Chain A
Amino acid sequence: MGAIDVRDLARAAAAGDQHGWDGLVERFGELVWSTTRAYGLSPGEGADAAQTTWLRLAEQLGHLKDQHERIGVWLAATARRESLRLLGAARGVAAATPRPATEPPPGPPGAGEQGREALLWRVVRELPEHCRRLLRVLLTVPPPSHDEVSAALDLPVAGIAAARDACLQDFRHRMSDFSIRADADDS
């Protein structure tokens, strides 16, 4: 979906068209979610931050006419702000009711493609925080633009490619260590 399509969706949504709005959710729903998860929010907190982000867009879309092309950047920046707000509020407010956790069920262990994906995901989660955060946002479908990544993580655009390369290199090292350990266990 190109930039033109996003502008059309945003314009329709701003005029109150549900179909256009649903298109924005389909296009950017993963980006908003991934950003909340990149900041380590629980699924329940992520749901809250995501919902506030979309409510804000609904409220302000009419005032964002000259930003329709960059709605993804606006959503990423807002998801970041709402994630930080929730992280701050969780530390600052006493006796808040705990939200029910809805952790996704653990993937089945074992062989084949499912087993490999589970391994990949496990290694991602073991990366140092800055890499885990960066990859979590990068692993969005469709892949985010550098501007969107920059807005989600408050990183300068110029450094993103190099950071990504370094994190993937780290990832590969850990995967190969894992394979070596797994082979050693088998022997």
Chain B
Amino acid sequence: MSRDIDKTPDLHGPQDEELLQELRAAARRFDPPPDAVLEAARASLTWRTIDAELAALEFDSVVDLAAGAVRSGEGPRLLTFAAPGLSIEVEVSPSGPRRQLVGQLVPAQPARIDVRHAGGVTTVQADQLGRFDADAISAGPVSLRCHLGDTPSSLPVVTEWIPL
């Protein structure tokens, strides 16, 4: 079978860049970023927290972060976030299209916690033992903003966004 593409009318003469341009047009036609995705992206700026300590994800029961591999396991998902001087442990249970969160601040302390999620902001209170729970959290990206009770003048702690 001849593979002389110059003899094939459809592909007469295109250089790689011309071909890529055609393919880009096809990509834009058949798989552009949906408007809703771009709108959500533009709206993301309003979710940022100024002047906060960022608590990074240190442990995720679903993913072995070091190996980048998926763990096999059952039961609720366990997440641990860490900032200097504070750990936040969260247990996530699915409840249909929503998520239920049960959490613990370490060291134990009261705090006002804003759970930021696709459905808005749900504010809950961590008790003296640092325990809190939140219901009816929308699936999707979630971040907790913790206003610690012990030292009200300190910066809030914000967990990095995690899709739940």
Digitize B132-164: 1 where CB-to-A-CB distance is under 8 Å, 0 elsewhere.
000000011101000000000000001011110
Question: In the complex the two chains form, is B26's CB within 8 Å of A50's CB?
Answer: no
Question: In the complex the two chains form, is B44's CB within 8 Å of A58's CB?
Answer: yes
CB neighbours of B68 from chain A (8 A): 84
* Interface presence of B122 (CB below 8 A): no
Question: In the complex the two chains form, is B30's CB within 8 Å of A121's CB?
Answer: yes
The minimal Cβ–Cβ distance linking B115 to chain A, given in whole angstroms, is 14
The segment out of B4-12, B81-89, B100-108, B123-131 that lies at the interface is B4-12
CB neighbours of B44 from chain A (8 A): 21, 51, 54-55, 57-58
- Bound-state CA distance A89–B28 (Å) is 29
Q: Which residues of chain B from 8 to 43 have a CB within 8 Å of any chain A CB?
A: 8-11, 16, 19-20, 22-34, 36-38, 40-42
Among the listed B8, B25, B97, B143, which residue makes an inter-chain contact with A117, where contact means beta carbons less than 8 Å apart? B25
* 10 new A-B contacts at CB < 8 Å, known A59-B48, A89-B62, A92-B71: A29-B38, A52-B163, A60-B54, A88-B70, A117-B25, A120-B23, A124-B26, A176-B5, A176-B8, A179-B8
* Interface presence of A74 (CB below 8 A): no
Among the listed B11, B72, B158, which residue makes an inter-chain contact with A92, where contact means beta carbons less than 8 Å apart? B72
A residues bordering B, Cβ < 8 Å? 13, 16, 18, 21-22, 25, 29-30, 32-34, 37, 43, 46-52, 54-63, 82, 84-86, 88-89, 91-97, 99, 102, 104, 107, 114, 116-118, 120-121, 124, 135-136, 138-141, 143, 164-165, 168, 171-173, 175-177, 179-180
Question: In the complex the two chains form, is A138's CB within 8 Å of B20's CB?
Answer: yes
Interface of B is mostly: mixed
- Bound-state CA distance A49–B140 (Å) is 9
Question: In the complex the two chains form, is A139's CB within 8 Å of B141's CB?
Answer: no
- A52-B163, A120-B23 known; A172-B5 Cβ under 8 A: yes
